[in-house]
Amino acid sequence: MIEIIPAIDLIDGKCVRLSQGDYTQKIIYNENPLEVARMFADAGIRRLHLVDLDGAKAHHIVNHAVLERITSGTDLIVDFGGGLKSDDDLRIAFECGASMVTGGSIAVKDPDVFSSWITKFGGEKIILGADVKNEKIAVGGWLETTELDLMPFIKNYIQQGINKVICTDISKDGMLQGPAIELYRKMLLEQPDMYLIASGGVSSIHDIELLDESAVPAVITGKAIYEGRIKLKDLSRFIINNL
């Protein structure tokens, strides 16, 4: 049964969503992220994907106080990402209660540092963020598409101990037009033991059902919940079966 992981994206300490990573297409959904996190926890959800968009711009952790408020104010298992570039950033994130951290651009730009995190903290605490466009890895807030092919990139880090991979198809993110089902099926054919976390494009319960039928282990969803396309009560069957 697929694991449901709601997302909270942070700018200026507020809960926002972007479309295709574009900071000019920002919608503020709630000025109190802890309130949103408690809403998820009250619905029985166990995991939260928390993204520091200010940190992503600043290239270092920024919204650690919000992280700490959420982890101390709920029982949610939080994975935290956005701008984590140094061992000090990870120290702060873990001290503020993150159970896991996600590294994306750094796994491309500074693979030695990312590999050192896997060695130091273990593959269970480090999630690989693989943002993709036409099966090529993208970085820098999706402004730059590299020549790195998706599957060899992922395989390299799986061989180093990574198990959890968040894959976001840039063309889908925030567009509410459905997730990249075929891409995820292809990925799981090549790496069936990978804990693949689908991200981007989820617009309805039907999309989650399709991902579940495709044996995708987990899905991140944000905008569809905030805009009422997916009701938390409609997620209950997935949540109950994962308890």
- Residue pLDDT, tens place only, 28-67: 999 999 999 999 999 999 999 999 999 988 999 999 999 9
pLDDT above 80 for 221 = yes
Tokens, residue 2: 């697929």
Q: How far apart are CA 238 and CA 225, in angstroms?
A: 15
pLDDT in tens, 131-183: 998 899 988 655 678 999 999 999 999 999 999 999 998 876 656 678 999 99
CB 198 within 8 A of CB 167: yes
Whether 110 is a known active-site residue: answer no
Cα 57 from Cα 36, distance rounded (Å): 23
Inform me whether the pLDDT recorded for 243 exceeds 70: no
Residue for token pair 């569809």: 224
Fold of the 3-242 domain: TIM Barrel (3.20.20)
Tell me: pLDDT of 239 over 90. Answer: no
CA distance 207 to 202: 6
Strand bridging mode 144-149 / 136-139 = antiparallel
Nearest to 37 by CA among 25, 27, 47, 22: 47
Per-residue pLDDT of 85-127, as tens digits, reads: 999 999 999 999 999 999 999 999 999 999 999 999 999 999 9
Catalytic-residue membership of 12: no
**Residue 114: predicted pLDDT:** 98
Active-site entry in 9, 52, 169, 173: 9
Per-residue pLDDT at 175: 61
Q: What is the DSSP string of the chain?
A: -PEEEEEEEEETTEEEEEETTEEEEEEEEES-HHHHHHHHHHTT--EEEEEEHHHHHHTS---HHHHHHHHHHS--EEEEESS--SHHHHHHHHHTT-SEEEESHHHHH-HHHHHHHHHHH-TTTEEEEEEEETTEEEETTTTEEEEEEHHHHHHHHHTTT--EEEEEETTTTTS-S---HHHHHHHHHH-TTSEEEEES---SHHHHHHHHHTT--EEEE-HHHHTTSS-GGGGHHHHHHH-
pLDDT value of residue 18: 75
| Among 52, 131, 169, 173, the one annotated catalytic | 131
In terms of Cα–Cα distance, which of 47, 60, 52 is closest to 99?
A: 47
pLDDT given for residue 217 in this prediction: 97
What are the domain boundaries of the chain? 3-242
pLDDT confidence of residue 199: 93
Distance, in Å, from the CA atom of 131 to the CA atom of 153, rounded to the nearest integer, reads 11
